[in-house]
Structure 1
Amino acid sequence: MIESWVIDDGSTVPVKSEVVLETLRARVARGLLETWLTSLSGRSLAFVTNTERAMVMLLDGDGDPGEHALDPGAEGSSEGFVLSNGQNDEYPDRDTVPIGEAFRLVEHIVSTGSWPSDARRAVDR
């Protein structure tokens, strides 16, 4: 059975993999740069962007440090990752990926429940 995900904004309607990118793009266009999805199994998927790069994290549950996407060859850092609480974060570029890659990762995780086989990621556990 494929895992069902909802956007963690009070919604109870599952988001399908076919529309998750459209949903994320619409949220970013409205200035919502942090999106959390939760699965019925208790896992969480985070997407935080500055509109050019994004942090993508997959957590197994509350308290799990999880895993995050990597761009190992990237140098420098980027700012402008605005969280829902107003906090403005800066991340090393190696710990974020270009937004197009982030969209691909999120779509694949929502569709299959796991990272794409070619995804670079760090296990933070």
Structure 2
Amino acid sequence: MTVTVTESWTIDDDEPVRVSPETVSGVLRRRIDSGRLETWLASSSGRSLAFVTNSERAMVMLLEEAGDPGEHAVTPQAEGSSEGFALSNGQHDEYPDEDTVPVREALRLIEHIVGTGSWPLDARRVVDR
């Protein structure tokens, strides 16, 4: 008999909030609307999922453990860069557009990762390890 362990995810904040594939997009959108542009999700297996946005594009990174350089979603051949990625420590970053994805795509990726534990098959990403 095979037992499947389901990974659960929470918003890693002062007051952690458990999310599901059905709720994570709404939670992230509300955080964006309130000016919270950086969100870290923590899984029950010790993995981390980062979502940093400027409200138009987002950096999505999946890390296997603390100190892991991880992997991040990309938009190959995108040109230019975007500013306004505000981190919780007050830092404001600018990223090449090829290293980010539109927010709508970022939310789709995060919903899938929260639901299945892995990137969608069609996700374009770069492994930074």
**Same fold per TM (> 0.5)?**
yes
Q: How far is 1:40 from its partner?
A: 1.0
Q: Which amino acid aligns with 1:90?
A: E
Q: Does 1:33 align with 2:37?
A: yes
Alignment of 1:14-53 (within 5 A): 14-53=18-57
Gaps of 5+ in 1: none
Off by >4 Å, runs of 4+ in structure 1: none
Q: How far is 1:28 from its partner?
A: 0.3
Q: Does 1:122 align with 2:107?
A: no
Per-residue CA deviation, residues 58-81 of structure 1 (Å, 9 max, x unaligned), is: 000100000000000200100000
TM normalised by structure 1 equals 0.97
Q: Aligned match of 1:60 in 64, 67, 72?
A: 64
- Aligned CA-pair RMSD: 0.9
Q: Does 1:8 align with 2:30?
A: no
- When residues 85 and 12 of structure 1 are mapped into structure 2, their CA distance, relative to the original with a 3 A threshold, is closer
Gaps of 5+ in 2: none
Q: Aligned match of 2:109 in 105, 112, 117?
A: 105
* Greater Rg over alpha carbons, structure: 2
Q: Aligned match of 1:94 in 80, 94, 98?
A: 98
Per-residue CA deviation, residues 66-100 of structure 1 (Å, 9 max, x unaligned), is: 00000002001000000001100000000000110
Q: State, as a whole percentage, how many aligned pairs show the same letter.
A: 70
